[in-house]
Structure 1
Amino acid sequence: MDERPGELLPLSGVRVVDLTRALSGPFCTMLLGDQGAEVVKIERPVVGDDTRRQSNPMVGTENSAFLAVNRNKRSVAVDLRAEAGVEVVRRLVAVSDVVVENFRPGKAEQMGLGYEQLRELNPGLVYCSISGWGSDGPYAARGGYASTAEAAGGLMSVTGERGRGPVKVGVSIVDSLTGLYAKDAITAALLARVRTGVGQKVETSLLESTVSILSMSAYAYLLGGVVAGRWGSEHQWHVPWKAFPTVDGFLVIATNNQEQWRKICVGIERPDLLEDPRFTTMADRAAHREILYALLDEVFATRTTHDWVARLDAVGAAAAPVNTIDQVFADPQVLARDMLQSVEHPTLGPIAQVGHAQKLHGTPHQITLPPPLLGQHTREVLTDLGGYTPDEIDELISGRVIPANC
């Protein structure tokens, strides 16, 4: 294992062979790396991970999409179409704890890298499969992306403005969520291995992750027979709950009970609304939402977003500005919670990184390795972990299994 600071990180001593690409899998393995796991990222020679070639903004010679989800990893470039390339991975798996893959169902088995094949090498292996639709069922063989999962899983049907068509969520939330579920399953399986002494296969999919977060909309249907629709920034039952235009932007307010409604009326200096019978209860306000929202639109249009947040915050009401992305990373609370960090990249110098949402006070996460260059660590990993001799590495290079510049 490479020498990395932070011996007390929660996953120190855990080695991960990362066969994933794109977003959900690399996000999962990045989180494992943030918690101290040693992550060896397997990439295709020349082209590498899909995100190295996306149309996202470039930072020097590196793609920002790749830089977003691949810190705390070492990169090994190896051609898995070659039998010798598969053998490289098998030798790494034999001395590792976790494998994460997001091939289409059945592809790993075809290459000789399926769970049943690898656990013969390593009975303690935790093997995580991430897919679009799951490993079985009528859709298993389909290609899957976050947007198709949002559509089929119902999330897109409740996202968008009233009276208009469905839209995707503004970020790849399903990919990230699936990565989180995968990471959680892996850590649970590692904990189970402490008790049982054996590993296991775990899996999740974009579809299942999407269905799992339907939350109240799911149970409104399952238990109440109500099919939720699109409400934009509004809430179907809680009123007022909406993004309101201000002098210079948008302000979101949310009310979940009568006390919150009272605080909003105090904060906007409209105590008369508390006495209006049309707005007495949550049900009354929902029944007269258009009238109430027209009144509140006029009120909020008179001041800046900052002024309204200050006034509502002073009375304990729930309010927040709709920050643009640049405003997010200048927000004092975001900065105070270490959600903007940096790491030294070998060719780019210091690069910004989004911090970790979980805060472990005794064993905090660390960003110790920058997103790697393609194949940057091939030779050292094959030597240190795979047990390859210099002659064997030269043979892999001559056979074009690994790149010559590794």
Structure 2
Amino acid sequence: ADTDNVKPLEGIKVLDLTRVLAGPFATMNLGDLGAEVIKVERPGAGDDTRTWGPPFVGTESTYFLSVNRNKKPHPRSCESPPAGPASSGCLPTFALSLEQHGGFPPLHTHMQPPADRSLWHEGAGDDTRTWGPPFVGTESTYFLSVNRNKKSIAVNIKDPKGVKIIKELAAVCDVFVENYVPGKLSAMGLGYEEIDRIAPHIVYCSITGYGQTGPLSQRAGYDAVASAVSGLMHITGPEDGDPVRPGVAMTDLATGLYAYGAIMAGLIQRYKTGKGLFIDCNLLSSQVACLTQVAANYLIGQKEAKRWGTAHGSIVPYQAFKTKDGYLVVGAGNNQQFATVCKILNLPELIDDCKYKTNHLRVQNRKELIKILSARFEEETTSKWLHLFEGSNVPYGPINNMKNVFAEPQPAVASELDPALSSSDGNKVPIIEAKQTPDTCFQQAVASELE
């Protein structure tokens, strides 16, 4: 075998029953590493994010596309379902059953919703299909952003025929991912116990809002609500202002990454034991885990958290400074870096000032020091400061808008986003580079036609 051309997850098949962001983000990352991802959506409008726009690309929201790449649009098929794990064979052809429930669409097919958005069928498929603006054409950019390169099949899992199709697919897949309220899939015959009986090799990952048990377990989970309950929103925003929702759904994304990592570990465990397993992942616990030092400050030091705006509660200076024409973020994590900052700003007298000689002292005298530094930063343009900080070994960077982000010359952005989610037919967005493996990015799948 040509091992030089083997993708990390090549041969792994993932059955994706997730909607919106956390689940689709997890499965898209699996797809980026070569897994074959089959996205199951409700008949009608499909994944709700497909209509979350504008902007749209064709008929799909870019929200949907942003987390559904690498969920491949073309199926492989064989005469009958192979026995055992999916890696031992190819996907079965379901003939009339699949045709009745939507089938796998070819690459360039799109939903054709009514031109009048008031007539769109809400509640079918992933919610993000309709989340917008923005849209590109009639496709929600939200949906497009997390649904690249996924095969799409529309299945009514409330119908016994649909349940049968899902079970047949699960029997030949390695991973089963869902994000329904606990107990809902079990009531349909698609819970872990039911799938384990027909596919004991399966790595079954359940992503919920608040876990499988407890007083909140039956609540639906959305990012902003979970970020509020978890405390993230309490520590986000201006120091003297109201709590603020983070600009990106970080609770969903963190949960997706936890699920992605747990699934990878589950596949390794299955390799060692020959048995599948159940993974319980939820928004609340994922975000609480991400509180890290903020949680430790409270649990160990009994120190309640507060909002700091762009600043850091334990490091000074480490924040955004307004310049003559924009903003620059500078971080001095040690005394040497602070001295360098003072030299660049032509404020050498601050280096040996008894109020600022250590980080502990700088934290104590934060307001006075930041006032001095802020006044100096406002005297020059951002580009001038970027030039002065170049080669200083001090962490620094501008606050970029999206146009500037994707104009960055840094290869991590410039060469890896080609183009950056500008269309639905050919983006390369690898996040992790593995030098000894082939390119793990596939073409981004456009929206499937849901019948």
Q: Measure how far apart 1:30 and its partner are.
A: 0.6
Runs (4+) off by over 3 Å: 334-339, 342-345, 348-353
Q: Measure how far apart 1:137 and its partner are.
A: 1.1
- 5 Å-filtered alignment, 1:3-402, equals 7-72=5-70, 73-333=150-410, 335=412, 338-342=415-419, 350=425, 352=427, 355-375=429-449
Q: Which amino acid aligns with 2:218?
A: A
CA distance 1:321–1:17, shift in 2 (3 Å): same
Q: Measure how far apart 1:263 and its partner are.
A: 1.0
Equivalent residues of 1:104, 1:131 under 8 A apart = yes
CA distances 1:219-271 after superposition (whole Å, capped 9, x unpaired): 11111111121011111121111111101110011111111111111111211
| TM-score (norm. length: structure 1) | 0.87
> Secondary structure, in 3 states, of the residue corresponding to 2:287?
helix
Q: Which amino acid aligns with 1:374?
A: S
Same amino acid, percent of matched pairs = 41
Q: What is the alpha-carbon distance in structure 2 between the residues aligned to residue 344 and residue 326 of structure 1?
A: 12
Q: Measure how far apart 1:309 and its partner are.
A: 1.9
> Secondary structure, in 3 states, of the residue corresponding to 1:167?
coil
Equivalent residues of 2:17, 2:39 under 8 A apart = yes
Q: What is the alpha-carbon distance in structure 2 between the residues aligned to residue 27 and residue 349 of structure 1?
A: 17
Q: Measure how far apart 1:79 and its partner are.
A: 1.4
CA distances 1:114-139 after superposition (whole Å, capped 9, x unpaired): 01101111110100000111111110
CA distance 1:8–1:351, shift in 2 (3 Å): closer
Equivalent residues of 1:342, 1:350 under 8 A apart = no
> Secondary structure, in 3 states, of the residue corresponding to 1:239?
coil
What runs of 5+ residues in structure 1 fail to find an aligned partner? Answer: 1-5, 377-402
Equivalent residues of 1:133, 1:142 under 8 A apart = yes
CA distance 1:120–1:375, shift in 2 (3 Å): farther
The structure that is helix-richer by fraction is 1
Q: Measure how far apart 1:60 and its partner are.
A: 2.5
Q: Which amino acid aligns with 1:326?
A: K
Q: Measure how far apart 1:107 and its partner are.
A: 0.7
Q: What is the alpha-carbon distance in structure 2 between the residues aligned to residue 325 and residue 156 of structure 1?
A: 23
Q: What is the alpha-carbon distance in structure 2 between the residues aligned to residue 349 and residue 226 of structure 1?
A: 47
Q: Measure how far apart 1:113 and its partner are.
A: 0.6
Q: Which amino acid aligns with 2:383?
A: H
Count matched residues: 370
Equivalent residues of 2:425, 2:446 under 8 A apart = no
Q: What is the alpha-carbon distance in structure 1 between the residues aligned to residue 438 and residue 250 of structure 2?
A: 24
The root-mean-square deviation of aligned C-alpha atoms, in Å, is 2.0
CA distances 1:79-106 after superposition (whole Å, capped 9, x unpaired): 1121101111111111111100001111
CA distances 1:121-180 after superposition (whole Å, capped 9, x unpaired): 111010000011111111000111111111111111111111211111110111111111
Q: What is the alpha-carbon distance in structure 2 between the residues aligned to residue 19 and residue 107 of structure 1?
A: 12
Equivalent residues of 1:156, 1:166 under 8 A apart = yes
CA distance 1:343–1:243, shift in 2 (3 Å): closer
| TM-score (norm. length: structure 2) | 0.78
